[in-house]
Amino acid sequence: MAAAASDDVALAVDAPRQCVTPAAAAPQPEAAFDNSFFTAGCEKVRERNAHKSTFGLRQLMYAPDDRHDVAVLNIADLERLDERRDRIRHRGIERRCTWWCTLQGTVVTDVLRSPFFFASFGVYAATLWVFDKPEKEHNGLYATVLTVLGAFLSFASIFLNSETYQRFRASYLASVKCQGCIFNATTCARASMRDVAARTVSRFICGAYIMAFAGLRDSHYDADEVLHPFLQKYGLLTEEEWEALRKRGGFAGTGDRYRELISWTLKVVNEERDAGRCHGNDAWRLCSDILMLRGKLAVGYDLLGQPVPFVYVHLVRLLTICYLPVFAFVLARLGSRTPEAIGLACVAIVIACLFFLGINTVSTKLADPYGHDLDDLRILSHCKLMPGACKSILTAELPAGTRASLRVDRRDT
């Protein structure tokens, strides 16, 4: 494989210099991205087969969360999913009051699916049926038990939710910092390397970006349904390079393939430096940005490798399933049997379930933000941003007048 990698890199480095003229026309739709831009001077990229959306996304949106971990979506499904995520993302800052009538992206459906939601109403109804009259002698005891248990559970649940949100935020910041590293490396490569070498560096690190996320899960970013179509769509890898990586092993459940791409990129930079086509300081800066990118891509593997300790999660879950029946029992024993009191008690049970079951659901979703939930990170959107943005950097040219003014001797002015 080392020889194969060297051949691929040599092909990119030794290719003739290509003149790139920035496009003056209006920007084309994203689907019309020129997939031959990055591989100019290399072998042509095979035409990408059209991937249409399936019904898997629609079924997944109304399925329990455990199906989200095994569902396989194609690239068109993930694009639609990211569009929905984007709409939900902006609802949190809308000034209109229409947010309350939506269920997508909320915990309401998850709470309504929970068996403990219905068990709470079952305990309440059974208590009303067994005990004809409300309890008056032990009101203080019931109230104390309810208050103490509720306080402890609220405290533990909020701390668990805070911990999982910190993991979610760390994952998001790592992803956007990867974008910064790619922009830095591409900009430096554009200023200090040949066009073909700069494009090779840029496409390798853009490919490593999505390949790292594909390695986090066995199915969320499937190699055949998502990874390969994405690389073909934007021309980030030639077929020879793809086959060289495939022969080395699988793409799911491992970070080896993206780390190989990073090593290819460093090899390109070092060969350019050794050939005298890149200054040593620029090569050092490029290598620093590329290695920083590798470190940021590893954050997801670090977080998923050590989730929130099970003993903590188990404690909160156990307290929740114990508290909700006790809450329903106390309401039935203390409340009167009038329709107004029963209705108010039912509303209280719904609110308690929404809080305690909902905050447990939120903590579960935030602990792993790389899946297919509507609240997960928009990974594909992050990756789709990079090829076009890097192309803008690689085609940047100084205006002729500015270039001419820089060449004028100061003594002539």
End-to-end CA distance of the chain: 58
Q: Is 84 helix (H, G, I), strand (E, B) or coil?
A: helix
With vertex at residue 226, the alpha carbon angle to CA 222 and CA 231, rounded to the nearest 5 degrees, is: 125
Dihedral, CA of residue 308, residue 314, residue 318 and residue 319, to nearest 10: -40
Kindly report, residue by residue over 378-411, the tens digit of the pLDDT.
Answer: 888 999 999 999 999 999 888 888 888 887 655 5
Q: What is the mean pLDDT of residues 16-31?
A: 41
What is the pLDDT at residue 145? 82
C-alpha 291/C-alpha 259 separation (Å) is 10
What is the pLDDT at residue 50? 44
What is the pLDDT at residue 16? 37
Q: What integer best gives the mean pLDDT of the chain?
A: 80
Per-residue pLDDT band at 43 (split at 50, 70, 90): low
Above 70 in pLDDT, residue 343? Answer: yes
Lowest mean pLDDT, pick from 96-110, 224-238, 350-364: 96-110
Above 60 in pLDDT, residue 344? Answer: yes
Query: Which residue type does 227 have?
Result: L
With 0-12 / 13-18 / 19 or more C-beta atoms within 10 angstroms meaning exposed / middle / buried, residue 54 is middle
What is the pLDDT at residue 295? 94
Sign of the torsion formed by the C-alpha atoms of 221, 66, 164 and 357: positive
With 0-12 / 13-18 / 19 or more C-beta atoms within 10 angstroms meaning exposed / middle / buried, residue 176 is exposed
Q: What is the mean pLDDT of residues 268-291?
A: 94
Per-residue pLDDT band at 105 (split at 50, 70, 90): confident
Residue owning tokens 């306080």? 151
Per-residue pLDDT band at 274 (split at 50, 70, 90): very high
Above 50 in pLDDT, residue 322? Answer: yes
CB atoms under 10 Å from CB of 173, counted, come to: 12
What is the pLDDT at residue 101? 59
Q: What is the mean pLDDT of residues 54-79?
A: 60
Above 70 in pLDDT, residue 342? Answer: yes
Above 50 in pLDDT, residue 19? Answer: no
CA distances from 398 to 105, 185, 260, 298, 335 (A): 46, 19, 35, 37, 78
Per-residue pLDDT band at 79 (split at 50, 70, 90): confident
What is the pLDDT at residue 92? 67
- List the one residue out of 204, 328, 293 whose CA is nearest residue 257: 204
What is the pLDDT at residue 26? 42
C-alpha 384/C-alpha 79 separation (Å) is 10
Above 90 in pLDDT, residue 200? Answer: yes
Per-residue pLDDT band at 36 (split at 50, 70, 90): low
Above 80 in pLDDT, residue 214? Answer: yes
What is the pLDDT at residue 18? 39
What is the pLDDT at residue 276? 93
Quote the percentage of the chain above a pLDDT of 70. 77
Q: Where are the alpha helices (DSSP H) in 94-194?
A: 108-113, 115-130, 139-192
Residue 116, token pair as written in the block? 């403990």
Kindly report, residue by residue over 138-187, the tens digit of the pLDDT.
Answer: 777 777 888 888 888 888 888 888 889 999 999 999 999 999 999 999 99
What is the pLDDT at residue 372? 82
What is the pLDDT at residue 30? 53
Per-residue pLDDT band at 350 (split at 50, 70, 90): very high
